[in-house]
Structure 1
């Protein structure tokens, strides 16, 4: 069975997987991320893990053939252009890993990797050669766009930055990217909590919510202000997704991240609002679902990209 390495580089942990061509995860392990000295040791740390593991795999005749890596930042031509939480700027990660391991390396943004993983292995039916929009609702809003089975990366490695779409907000909020009123200001868990706290404060009933699940507990109980906060958030999200869908016409729209754990309390009103906002010709002709792969999505997507790289290299021979 052909296999590759899928690597998901995070600010606190680097997750590794050995993944077969059918999407089977044969082995998983992780190491802490050493971000000291602007992350200078991270490439060598990754390479050391892969060299040792591949030597073990080779003893059984199952050595990995390529490496796919997802990283938290824009990627272009094998270069990590910037990864703030790792301290990287213009890090030639693909070249460094190839030199250390001798294996072909493909590199992609971590949200794009998760998008690929979900489209490949997350649904009831494979969408690996299709078109999908993926969005994660966590501390911020991340995302990825897959077109005909390929990541839409863009000229500067910044395509799919769903969370930084400009929106016309009901107030003014500062985004961590430096702009005001990005989509993530309203649709992230942080933005959702702020909307709820603002509504309750204005009603003279301050609650001091700190997590989205606290608000969703009140949504489940039918508390009007909590429901209003949910509906405001869903409205922004549906409008943002509908805009993307007008451009790429996806087969499926996938929602992940912490807020997606609310399940039908989020997804049912989102489905209704999205159906109202999409181009009429595609209404009822796409799937809307929650992400299913959790922490495995990034490694699976990176592995999928690695298999695609192997196919490309084989075609050149």
Structure 2
């Protein structure tokens, strides 16, 4: 449109206009960039893939709300020793001022938080816990679906051998058993009050055929409601204890594993009910990085990509 060669303009921007060549963090940008001045009392830590599945640990400030001043550090890799070594470059006095750090349940993240921000309360993100609960429900659904596929294959095989029309059960909504289990995927993610008319009909058939699936769905829903209710930490402890009992009575292995996972991170999980802080800001920032990466159609020069990120968010 302006008679300018795109490749030439991009090259000029990188080498001259952007001041990238004079950037004080250019020499180590591919491995780490740090902005201690953006450190606040409340931080979030998570991981994100920049290109080709290469993971980076991202530390962000909640106060900046995903805008300028958000990036505290972006460090290549997720190994706790390497990340800790980089974060310790931030002045100890600044690190001691951090009062809260939201994170997932990864052991490496918890070690990083403990070593680098000893004064901070660790808060396990509620959405990671809820995600495990919904995945536990889906695991049960998938198990039943494979059984339904196997049964249908056997019916087709026998019908073919006998040269007769296969008798495949079809429910009142028009779904076969295999289709019922496949099409129920999304309704199991949602609360029952958000189901559409068709989803409600499908759920009624599904739960009448598979009572265990209904029991698992209700367990996941109860955990969600514990988090959604604006309760005190002591009340949440009591409700979680009741939920643990229901999990034990259900006999579901996947939920038993989830219960043990929550137990192993019990105090950090309960810390959510102090201020109801989540890792949503970190997830949102990760989405911005991915969107920026898509606009550039991938990342070739990681140092320059991180320079541009820092211009926008640091």
Pair in the same fold by TM > 0.5: no
**Structure of greater Rg:** 2
Q: Relative to total residues, which structure has the larger helix share, 1 or 2?
A: 2
Q: Which has the higher strand share?
A: 1
Give the TM-score normalised by the residue count of structure 1. 0.31
